[in-house]
């Protein structure tokens, strides 16, 4: 385990996690893709490990919550809808409080394992901007996104990248980068239908992914099923100098 992967705070207990997830599930009864999570009075401080940024980050400066469309032509990426709320806290001196005003970038591949805005040995999507965007955390420390469940590509398990910055314009602003993962059984179920089946077989499972093995179990999403798709909450506490 590297220093970047070492947890530096407490994780939620199983009871606390269930209580938080239960609070979020209550908001799903309205059948909305972006439910909100009743953050007040349940703001957890969960310090998570950093992980590699990877080769596909592009600072597109796309301020948007729904990252499914490609701004170039309006095409909406197909796939199972996923509403993702990141709940960001600041941790220090025994205090946990929401972190407003932080920029949270989200990016991941489409149902066929393709990223936008990059040239790779498998594809060239320069000029495309699908499945990328950022949100600024509100007074409760929330950043909300609507996207699709990711596909897969060779060498990696299914994942989502995210980056948190307190001052993107500053040379020495605080920055935290990591990845989010899913239970393999859920991925099996979602990837058993179109458009994911067009990708074929060969997906790496969590236990066989070298990056996931570096504390990926602390970066797992627990999506809740809704009429439209799935919704998930991820809470993270940051120790900012």
At residue 147, does pLDDT exceed 50? yes
Domain boundaries 3-238, corresponding CATH code? 2.60.130.10
At residue 40, does pLDDT exceed 50? no
What pLDDT score does 181 carry? Answer: 98
Q: What is the mean pLDDT of residues 235-239?
A: 94
pTM metric for this prediction: 0.83
C-alpha neighbours within 13 Å on the C-beta side of residue 117: 19
At residue 39, does pLDDT exceed 80? no
Average pLDDT over the chain, rounded to an integer: 84
* Range 12-17 contact pairs with CB under 8 angstroms and sequence separation of 24 or more: 12/44, 12/46, 12/235, 16/44, 17/222
Q: What is the DSSP letter of 69?
A: B
Report the alpha-carbon distance of residue 200 to residue 192 in Å, rounded: 10
Provide the edge-to-edge strand list for the sheet that holds 103-107.
132-136, 103-107, 159-165, 175-181
What pLDDT score does 168 carry? Answer: 73
What pLDDT score does 144 carry? Answer: 97
Report the alpha-carbon distance of residue 67 to residue 107 in Å, rounded: 9
At residue 7, does pLDDT exceed 50? no
Q: What is the mean pLDDT of residues 72-93?
A: 94
Per-domain boundaries in the chain:
3-238
At residue 184, does pLDDT exceed 60? yes
For residue 5 the two structure tokens come to 């992967």
Q: DSSP 3-state assignment of 89?
A: strand
What pLDDT score does 44 carry? Answer: 67
Q: What is the mean pLDDT of residues 203-226?
A: 96
Name the band, by pLDDT with cuts 50, 70 and 90, for residue 71.
very high
* Of 153, 71, 75, nearest in space to 120 by CA: 153
What pLDDT score does 23 carry? Answer: 37
Q: Which residues pair with 119 in a beta bridge?
A: 124
What pLDDT score does 66 carry? Answer: 98
What pLDDT score does 22 carry? Answer: 41
Report the alpha-carbon distance of residue 202 to residue 87 in Å, rounded: 33
> Which residue has tokens 């439209």?
228
């Amino acid at each position: 385990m590297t220093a970047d992967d070492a947890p530096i705070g407490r994780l939620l207990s199983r009871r606390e996690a269930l209580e938080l997830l239960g609070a979020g599930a209550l908001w799903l009864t309205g059948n909305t893709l972006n439910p909100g999570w009743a953050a007040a009075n349940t703001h957890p401080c969960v310090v998570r490990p950093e992980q590699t940024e990877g080769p596909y980050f592009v600072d597109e400066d796309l301020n948007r919550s729904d990252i499914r469309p490609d701004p170039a032509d309006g095409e909406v990426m197909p796939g199972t809808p996923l509403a993702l709320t990141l709940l960001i806290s600041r941790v220090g001196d025994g205090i946990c409080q929401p972190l407003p005003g932080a920029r949270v970038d989200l990016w991941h591949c489409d149902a066929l394992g393709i990223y936008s805005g990059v040239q790779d040995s498998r594809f060239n999507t320069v000029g495309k901007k699908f499945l990328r965007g950022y949100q600024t955390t509100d007074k409760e420390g929330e950043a909300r996104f609507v996207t699709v469940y990711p596909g897969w590509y060779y060498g990696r398990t299914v994942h989502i990248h995210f980056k948190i910055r307190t001052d993107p314009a500053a040379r020495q602003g605080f920055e935290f980068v990591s990845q989010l993962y899913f239970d393999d059984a859920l991925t099996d179920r979602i990837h058993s239908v179109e458009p994911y089946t067009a990708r074929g077989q060969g997906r790496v499972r969590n236990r066989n992914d070298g990056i996931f093995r570096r504390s990926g179990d602390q970066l797992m999403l627990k999506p809740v099923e809704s009429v439209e798709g799935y919704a998930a909450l991820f809470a993270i506490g940051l120790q900012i100098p």
